[in-house]
Structure 1
């Protein structure tokens, strides 16, 4: 391939990424909940939710959370961050955030709640309704991040979701770790494609949670 063709391909790749330097805000629609046909009579209460993700200023790999240094770095912004856009050369650009009333950990918890409901549990939100046989869950979200890897004629968007759970019931307690990664190739980095790959990862996370609950 001659030099002109190489530069032409690179220019096309930059166009394909669909990236912008500014921050974007996207909403991730919740997946449809399909309650179990027969409830198991068990209740679950989510006692705590922690954002345990580690952000770095200049990560060497795109799967490590980071924020545009020219923008706000507040805790509220960090909680809403789910991805960092990049150009065709892999250079980090603007961030992708959830809307102001949403957070990445809350998005993960919704997927966990979906898993419990579809396994026949009843989710309670009032701590006064917690009984001795209620499953009390503490959630630490260690990963909830999407990123882009450039390619020659297409780009790959990936998303990871991972949590550490502590589940208590009566005098018993156990720990569970869940982790999934999903990827897909796209022609552009348009916002709807980011939403699609994050939804795909959350759906896989819910299914893995259901498998753990069935054990």
Structure 2
């Protein structure tokens, strides 16, 4: 009986040792050798904006406040964003961007941010590779105006651009738009700038939508 018990304990001990080896290191056996996981390389798309051109078409006068109008003697066209009007709708001046700001400059800054948010890496001319997407931008509308109301006035703004995207294998053209509106008691310069900022944010949302 004692010999039988001793033999039984030896069998149990052997089973525990074998089981322990398997449990503590499941990859130790030849058939279950550890496999090195292959690193996934994420290819980041790069983009270079080669040009941003103010291609807006202006009229000399218009009753429709949303139409882009410019004076014949205006010299700083890239800063013009609207027309000041009195309560009768008559033009009394021009709305400009702040000093050192321009329509093309603001558009480029916004698009760089928009492309980055869509997964692109923005590069300068030296960073261009064969796979880099080249973007050519034409700003066709960048305008703000107000619509009179009973108690408040609506400050509106619209930005529109046409972007040509091309690389070695393809060329694509997209048109993006953004509009903004804010209500104010008085149409101050800052109110118009606020509306432009809202339109710019909407433009970037449309860019992301068109790229995906």
- TM-score higher than 0.5 here? yes
Do the aligned partners of 1:40 and 1:121 also contact (CA within 8 Å) in 2? no
Do the aligned partners of 2:139 and 2:160 also contact (CA within 8 Å) in 1? yes
Secondary structure of the 1:208 match is helix
Match of 1:119 in 2: 118
Q: CA-to-partner distance for each residue in 1:50-80, whole Å, 9 max, x for gaps?
A: 11101111123111222345xx412xx1111
Match of 2:103 in 1: 104
Do the aligned partners of 1:90 and 1:150 also contact (CA within 8 Å) in 2? no
Match of 2:59 in 1: 56
Secondary structure of the 2:58 match is coil
Do the aligned partners of 1:161 and 1:201 also contact (CA within 8 Å) in 2? yes
Match of 2:174 in 1: 176
Q: How far does residue 86 in structure 1 lie from its aligned partner after superposition? A: 1.4
Which has the larger displacement, 177-186 or 144-153? 177-186
Q: How far does residue 133 in structure 1 lie from its aligned partner after superposition? A: 0.5
Q: Given the two structures, how large is their TM-score scaled by the length of structure 1?
A: 0.74
**Structure possessing the higher relative contact order (Cα contacts under 8 Å, 6 or more residues apart):** 1
Alignment match of 2:143 (pick from 142, 145, 155): 145
Does the C-alpha gap of structure 1 residues 152 and 89 become closer, same or farther in structure 2, counting only changes over 3 Å?
Answer: farther
Q: Which runs of 5+ in 2 are unaligned?
A: 1-41
Q: Given the two structures, how large is their TM-score scaled by the length of structure 2?
A: 0.75
Secondary structure of the 1:202 match is helix
Q: How far does residue 40 in structure 1 lie from its aligned partner after superposition? A: 5.7
Match of 1:87 in 2: 86
Q: Which runs of 5+ in 1 are unaligned?
A: 1-38
Equivalences for residues 3-18 of structure 1 within 5 A: none
Do the aligned partners of 1:40 and 1:120 also contact (CA within 8 Å) in 2? no
Q: How far does residue 108 in structure 1 lie from its aligned partner after superposition? A: 1.4
Cα distance in 2, alignment partners of residues 210 and 113 from structure 1: 12
Matched positions, count: 171
